[in-house]
Amino acid sequence: MEFKRAADGEKGFEKVFAFLRERLLTGSLRPGDRLISERELATLLGVSRPIVREALRALTVLGIVEIRDRIGTVVTRPDVSVLNDFFTFALAQQADMLEDVMQARVAIECQAIRLACERANIADFERLQRALTKIGETIDEADAGGMADFDFHRAIVVASHSETLSVLHASMAGLLTHSHRSRRELVQAFPSMKTYLVDDHRRIFEALIARDPERADATLRKHFAIGDEYRRRAVVGDIDKTSASG
């Protein structure tokens, strides 16, 4: 073990990472398990501790593992934050990606609502109902209104009972949060938007209750399309006349 020459062919980091990867993928290491200490791992694989730490840190940012100070390293259940990080970086370097991410969000939600039509239970309906009520109540507030809107859409995804869809949606929603908010500020400029917001969400809710996937999907899609339309009109300055009151 005194040779840095990895007879295994892999460099230090790769060796450790591959070692742990294999244990994790084959199920030898499951969530909740505690890894052997960094020192043991180092001597076991014939590498130095800093290298082991690199590998553990890599697994940490992937959300696979959690390094607990003075306790040890434990395997965790895969977490969303990774995707969040990734998309945050990715988006930062490609600002034009925003519209693109929105497309992905639409994709996720439309699929989610289809699944939700099959799988939603009473609790899901209640959650949606509450969100719907909230949307009506907060129609005049940009902040609370945006949050209510967000909650409703999230409730749809939750109702799909799909972990993957939830994860993906959560990671995109985070990115779209601010755009969501600024969009909400348009409501004041478009009084007609108020009825659109309330009615549209209600229609989506009804389709969901009716457990009609096609209608739910179509309604949701239309909802997004109308939102886009409002945004377009805002860009070109086509404000509702009736709102000139200010």
| Residue 28: CB minimum distance to DNA, A | 17
- Helix 142-159 with 163-184: angle, nearest 10 deg: 160
Candidates 48-56, 115-123, 124-132, 162-170: pick the segment binding DNA (CB under 7 A). Answer: 48-56
Give the 3-state secondary structure of residue 155: helix
Number of residues that bind its own copies (CB under 8 A): 49
Please give the residues from 215 up to 234 whose contact with DNA meets the rule CB under 7 A: none
Please give the residues from 99 up to 138 whose contact with its own copies meets the rule CB under 8 A: 100-101, 103-104, 106-108, 110-112, 115
Give the 3-state secondary structure of residue 25: helix
First-to-last CA distance in the chain? 76
Taking Cα atoms as reference points, which of 189, 215, 40, 121 lies closest to residue 16?
40
Chosen residue from 20, 29, 35, 101 binding DNA by CB under 7 A? 35
Give the 3-state secondary structure of residue 124: helix
Given DNA, its own copies, none, residue 125, with its beta carbon under 5 to 8 Å by kind, binds none
Does 68 bind DNA (CB under 7 A)? Our answer is yes
Does 13 bind its own copies (CB under 8 A)? Our answer is yes
Chosen residue from 1, 70, 164, 241 binding its own copies by CB under 8 A? 164
- What values do phi and psi take at 166, rounded to 5? -65, -45
Tokens of 203: 């229609």
Does 93 bind its own copies (CB under 8 A)? Our answer is yes
- The residues facing 65 across adjacent strands are 75
Distance from chain centroid for Cα 159: 15
Distance, in Å, from the CA atom of 207 to the CA atom of 193, rounded to the nearest integer, reads 21
CB of 31 or CB of 50, closer to DNA: 50
Q: Could you list the residues that contact its own copies (CB under 8 A)?
A: 13, 21, 24-27, 30-31, 50, 53-54, 57-58, 60-64, 77-78, 82-83, 85-86, 88-90, 92-94, 97, 100-101, 103-104, 106-108, 110-112, 115, 160, 162-165, 167-168
